[in-house]
Copies of this chain bind each other. A is one copy, B any other.
Amino acid sequence: MREREQEQSSANGPIYLRVRDQIADQIENGLLQPNSRLPSERVLAESNHTTRVTARLALAQLEAEGRIYRSNRRGWFVSPPRLVYNPTEDYSFSDNVVAQGRVPATETLDVTTIEANAWLAAKTGLAEGDPIVRLHRRRQIDGRSVLVENIYLNARRLPGIETFDFNRSLWKLMREHYGLELARKQIEMFPTALVDPQAEALGVNAGTAGLYVTRCSRDNEGCFVEFDEEFWLHDTLSIQVDVR
């Protein structure tokens, strides 16, 4: 969408938009490569004859646009291209990342068996107290943590699921071991800021822009199988869905 916009050069507008435009140009011209570090806030302020506060306004602007991201107390970096992601498909995160020429990684942070609370019961259709295996994972692209997720599995429908290696594809596991084909998915998503504990798990400040995605999957008899809740950094993905 960018290329056809008449980017009105904000030469006479606020200083922070001037600084924004200057950095955005450098990114588009390839002077600043993906994942490379920007000059420090103090340097940006000085070289534009302004203060850190104003320089930070420009950086916040670029961050909101998804063009740069920050690494806590290390600096600002150019965002790499977004991962194309189709939440309606049952493919593996890892395969998808590899197919786009990137390097995936998954960390399993926690596996617990819990009982469905009111919120989960409403989302899944189970009764409160029904057993659920909760899986907490963090996923990375090229070494950057881009999402954390909570996966809630129907322990009755998937007996023994908690004994498997969760760093592999859950979808393959369901298909190969349980002979399961997912028949229905309800997907919900909206943009929001990441707050603790998700922000902390991703190593970003509370308030960083994110995308919240949930998926509820059922088998071909309508039985609840899996509820997935994902917290993505907002600049890391582009959702694409093809409906026929």
Range for the number of chain A residues in contact with chain B: 35 or more
**How close is A143's CB to chain B, nearest CB, in angstroms?**
22
Q: Which of A39-84 contact B (CB under 8 A)?
A: 53, 60-61, 64-66, 82
Please determine whether A191 and B66 come into contact, CB atoms closer than 8 angstroms. yes
**How close is A180's CB to chain B, nearest CB, in angstroms?**
16
Complex interface bits, A87-123 against B, C-beta within 8 A gives 1, otherwise 0 = 0100000000000000000000000000001010000
The answer for the CA separation of A183 and B244 in the assembled complex, in Å, is 6
Contacts A/B (CB < 8 Å), 19 sampled: A3-B119, A4-B119, A65-B192, A65-B193, A66-B193, A82-B190, A184-B242, A184-B244, A185-B242, A187-B239, A188-B238, A188-B239, A188-B241, A189-B239, A190-B238, A190-B239, A192-B234, A209-B209, A241-B241
Q: Which residues of B contact A117 (CB under 8 A)?
A: 4
* Residue A31 lies at the interface, judged by CB distance under 8 Å to chain B: no
- Which of A6, A53, A184, A191 has the most chain B CB within a 10 Å cutoff? A191
**How close is A116's CB to chain B, nearest CB, in angstroms?**
11
The answer for the CA separation of A192 and B64 in the assembled complex, in Å, is 6
* Residue A237 lies at the interface, judged by CB distance under 8 Å to chain B: yes
* Residue A35 lies at the interface, judged by CB distance under 8 Å to chain B: no
The answer for the CA separation of A4 and B186 in the assembled complex, in Å, is 21
**How close is A90's CB to chain B, nearest CB, in angstroms?**
10
**How close is A120's CB to chain B, nearest CB, in angstroms?**
8
Please determine whether B193 and A64 come into contact, CB atoms closer than 8 angstroms. yes
* Residue A149 lies at the interface, judged by CB distance under 8 Å to chain B: no
Q: Which residues of B contact A22 (CB under 8 A)?
A: none
Q: Which of A197-218 contact B (CB under 8 A)?
A: 197, 206-212
> Taking the full assembly, how many copies of this chain does it contain?
2
Q: Which residues of B contact A210 (CB under 8 A)?
A: 191
The answer for the CA separation of A155 and B192 in the assembled complex, in Å, is 38
Q: Which residues of B contact A11 (CB under 8 A)?
A: none
The answer for the CA separation of A239 and B60 in the assembled complex, in Å, is 26
* Residue A8 lies at the interface, judged by CB distance under 8 Å to chain B: yes
* Residue A17 lies at the interface, judged by CB distance under 8 Å to chain B: yes
The answer for the CA separation of A88 and B241 in the assembled complex, in Å, is 9
* Residue A229 lies at the interface, judged by CB distance under 8 Å to chain B: yes
Q: Which residues of B contact A1 (CB under 8 A)?
A: 119, 212, 229
Nearest B residue to A244, CB-CB: B184
